[in-house]
């Protein structure tokens, strides 16, 4: 429970980290050094490794969410010689980071090692974007282990630049490694990190099954399904099922419903405090206590808690409804 609470708090703070880290660098590629020496690893229960290198805390935020969602082992790539503020000064052409990025043979040493890399079938590798590429220490990591038979996913962070160039470069250079795809976050996307990671991991099919619940929505003779996230509001919803609720349209964007008997006292103990909903997202708006199912994308909203997501195509059933309509929600 402590780990889950920590991860949710991390997701809430990620946006603040990005705001401040991006101030010192227009691209958010390098910035003020918040580097600490985190524990080498937090051991999970599965065969997933989440390795990351982070100087300003941005990539670390995403890594912690991925590790929680997959129940993976979290591994911080710690440089043998820590990076200082001067090392990360992109305005200085002779700074350490600039020298390393300009030297294709640079391989900064890593202070720690993954225990028993053979036990992992899936590896996530996270890094910031430095001048369009991964920092050279990522190459050190890739050249330190045998990735045969493993699926490798990358995730990256930046102020505004893309992560595709770095992913493509790594894929070309290390063609013997099975790089599958990359998930990239710019500063404007970090507020929705929890939802984006949940959706990505679910799509990849490597969700921690202990942290997902399946529910159904029945309207008339039609039934659609959804995956519920692992936070206090989502667990609260599942504990109340079965529910039959009357939904109505709101703002031509979402379908909303209130619980019966005015029972809007949700458990907010480890729930995110905001999200940026997209079509298909199931949410709860804490100021009013209502469920909200979005059939159109919407902006970042404070007080909007991500609860789950409808299966692909299921949102069509909701968007087709006119006026008030009755929905029965059941645990599957």
Whether 199 and 218 map to the same domain: the answer is no
Residues 49-90: tens digit of each pLDDT: 999 999 888 899 899 989 988 889 999 999 999 999 999 998
pLDDT value of position 2:
41
pLDDT value of position 210:
53
Work out the percent of the chain whose per-residue pLDDT is above 90. Answer: 64
Residue 190 pLDDT > 90? no
Q: Are 145 and 116 spatial neighbours (Cβ–Cβ below 8 Å)?
A: no
Number of domain units in the chain: 2
Whether 116 and 194 map to the same domain: the answer is yes
Whether 195 and 270 map to the same domain: the answer is no
> Residue 50: which of 30, 77, 81 has the closest Cα?
77
Domain of residue 258 covers 212-331
Whether 234 and 187 map to the same domain: the answer is no
Q: Which of 138, 170, 204 is the last residue of a domain?
A: 204
- In 189-308, which ranges are continuous DSSP H helix? 193-204, 232-240
Average pLDDT over residues 216-245: 92
User: Per mean pLDDT, which range of 41-45, 107-111, 291-295, 297-301 is the poorest?
Assistant: 41-45
Q: Which of 204, 231, 260 is the last residue of a domain?
A: 204
Q: Are 77 and 114 spatial neighbours (Cβ–Cβ below 8 Å)?
A: no
- Taking all residues of the chain, what is their mean pLDDT, rounded to a whole number? 85
pLDDT category of residue 7 using cuts at 50, 70 and 90: very low
CATH code, domain with 130: 3.40.50.360
Whether 237 and 302 map to the same domain: the answer is yes
Give the span between the Cα atoms of 179 and 168, in whole angstroms. Answer: 9
Whether 102 and 198 map to the same domain: the answer is yes
Whether 165 and 243 map to the same domain: the answer is no
pLDDT category of residue 262 using cuts at 50, 70 and 90: low
Whether 76 and 176 map to the same domain: the answer is yes
Whether 48 and 99 map to the same domain: the answer is yes
At a CB cut-off of 8 Å and minimum separation 6, what does 322 contact? 249
Residue 5 pLDDT > 50? no
Whether 169 and 268 map to the same domain: the answer is no
User: Per mean pLDDT, which range of 33-42, 74-83, 167-176, 233-242 is the poorest?
Assistant: 33-42
Rounded to the nearest 5 percent, the helix, strand and coil shares of the chain are 30, 25, 40
Q: Which of 204, 239, 268 is the last residue of a domain?
A: 204
Average pLDDT over residues 153-179: 95
CATH code, domain with 291: 2.40.100.20
Average pLDDT over residues 302-322: 94
pLDDT value of position 42:
59
Average pLDDT over residues 211-232: 88
pLDDT value of position 208:
63
Strand 178-185 to strand 151-157: parallel, antiparallel, or no bridges (unpaired)? parallel
> Residue 64: which of 12, 28, 25 has the closest Cα?
12
Whether 17 and 129 map to the same domain: the answer is yes
Whether 199 and 294 map to the same domain: the answer is no
Residues 14-55: tens digit of each pLDDT: 544 443 333 233 234 443 343 444 455 555 557 999 999 998
Residues 97-132: tens digit of each pLDDT: 999 999 999 999 999 999 999 999 999 999 999 999
Give the span between the Cα atoms of 49 and 114, in whole angstroms. Answer: 9
């Amino acid at each position: 429970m402590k780990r889950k609470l920590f991860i949710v708090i991390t997701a809430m703070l990620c946006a603040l980290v990005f705001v401040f880290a991006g101030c010192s660098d227009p691209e958010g590629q390098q910035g003020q050094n918040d580097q600490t020496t985190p524990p080498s690893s937090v051991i999970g229960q599965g065969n997933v490794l989440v390795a990351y290198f982070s100087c300003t805390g941005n990539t670390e935020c995403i890594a912690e969410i991925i590790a929680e969602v997959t129940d993976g082992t979290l591994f911080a790539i710690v440089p043998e010689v820590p990076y200082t503020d001067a090392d990360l000064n992109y305005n200085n052409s002779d700074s350490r980071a600039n020298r390393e990025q300009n030297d294709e043979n640079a391989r900064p040493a890593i202070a720690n090692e993954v225990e028993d890399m053979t036990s992992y079938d899936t590896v996530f590798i996270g890094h910031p974007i430095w001048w369009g590429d991964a920092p050279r220490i990522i190459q050190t990591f890739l050249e330190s282990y045998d990735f045969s038979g493993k699926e490798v996913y990358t995730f990256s962070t930046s102020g505004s630049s893309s992560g595709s160039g770095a992913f493509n470069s790594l894929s070309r250079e290390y063609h013997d490694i099975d790089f599958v795809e990359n998930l990239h976050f710019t500063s404007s996307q970090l507020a929705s990190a929890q939802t984006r990671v949940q959706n990505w991991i679910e799509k990849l099919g490597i969700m921690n099954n202990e942290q997902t619940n399946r529910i159904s929505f029945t309207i008339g003779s039609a039934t659609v399904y959804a995956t519920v996230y692992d936070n206090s509001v989502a667990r609260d919803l599942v504990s109340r099922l079965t529910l039959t609720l009357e939904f109505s349209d709101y703002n031509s964007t979402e379908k909303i419903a209130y619980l019966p008997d005015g029972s809007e006292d949700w458990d907010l103990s480890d729930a995110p405090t905001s999200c940026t909903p997209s079509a298909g997202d199931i949410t709860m708006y804490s100021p009013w206590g209502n469920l909200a199912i979005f059939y159109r994308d919407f902006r970042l909203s404070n007080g909007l808690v991500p609860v789950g997501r409808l299966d692909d195509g299921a949102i069509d059933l909701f968007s087709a409804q006119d006026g008030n309509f009755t929905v029965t929600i059941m645990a599957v």
